[in-house]
Amino acid sequence: MPSLIISLILLSTLGFLVLFKFNIKTEINKIIIIPSVILVVFGSYYLFGSFFELKQYRFNLAEQKRAKDILKSIKSPDELIKKLTKHLVNNPNSARGWYLLGRIYSSQNKFKKAEKAFKKAYLLEPNNDLISINYAKSLLDNGNIEGRQTLLDILEHDSKNIDVLSILAMDAYKNKQYQKSIDYWQRLLILLPENSEESIAIRKAIAKASSEKIK
């Protein structure tokens, strides 16, 4: 995994995972996971990255406390996978559940499993841009360029989608299409606060792409 690119774009040393609202029943109690709650994932953030987590990381203190309480009952991502899988056996039409499972697998670099989970979520909610973006990214993670077209289609009706621009920039950079990556990053800069950490990181990424371009 190209740690340099990740450090430039992700602005985070640990990956974290945004959980959608749904219920997971266990033998002891029911854990309710709400939007904007973050599950810390062990290990580094997955390839390409986007600004999903960066945006949703900024939640209020009350939700943060609730997240910590939930985390105490979950020992590891593997434990959550087991609970989610059990939940989905009984609730196979839960797009949010499949989405979350895909996020967990992505955080563990299990891209094939992530793609399968995201595909199930996508088939249930094909008009959900967040799910579509994650599914498209999982396709790219597995070398399937069809994901790129999905992202471009989303960009047609949402030209300022930070997540899509970020993924397309990284995809272009990975494929040594340096000018394309620069173009996407420049579009991102317009959407971000001038002196923010994100803007600084993107300027560094642009500089890196520019230097690669002239080699």
pLDDT at 68: 54
State the chain's maximal CA–CA distance in angstroms. Answer: 61
Alpha helices in the chain (DSSP H): 3-10, 52-56, 61-72, 77-90, 95-107, 111-124, 129-141, 146-157, 162-174, 178-191, 197-213
> Averaged over 43-66, what is the pLDDT?
41
Task: Give pLDDT, residue 195.
Answer: 86
> Which 8-state DSSP code applies to residue 16?
E
* All residues at 6 or more sequence positions from 124 whose CB lies less than 8 Å from its CB, including other chains: 93, 94, 95, 98
User: How do residues 37-48 score in pLDDT, each as one tens digit?
Assistant: 223 322 223 333
pLDDT at 213: 84
Residue-wise pLDDT tens digits, 87-138 = 899 999 999 899 989 988 888 889 999 999 999 999 999 999 999 999 999 9
Q: Is the pLDDT of residue 148 over 50?
A: yes
Between these two residues, 84 and 121, which has the higher pLDDT value? 121
What would the pLDDT profile of 124-138 be if each residue is shown by its tens digit? 999 999 999 999 999
d(C-alpha 99, C-alpha 55), whole Å: 18
pLDDT at 124: 97
Two tokens, residue 8: 């430039």
Residue 142 in this model has a pLDDT that exceeds 80:
yes
Q: Which amino acid is at 160?
A: K
- What pLDDT does 17 receive? 33
* Total-model pTM: 0.68
- Say which amino acid occupies 206: I
Tokens 């471009």, residue located: 152
Domains in the chain: boundaries: 3-213
Residue 177 CB neighbour total at 10 angstroms: 17
Distance between CA atoms of 193 and 170, rounded to whole angstroms?
20
Mean pLDDT, residues 12-22 taken together: 33
Task: Determine the Cα–Cα distance for residues 44 and 27; give it in Å rounded to an integer.
Answer: 32
Q: Is the CATH number of domain 3-213 1.25.40.10?
A: yes
pLDDT, residue 26, reads: 34
Tell me the three-class secondary structure of 33-71, residue by residue: ECCCEEEECCCCCCCCCCCHHHHHCCCCHHHHHHHHHHH
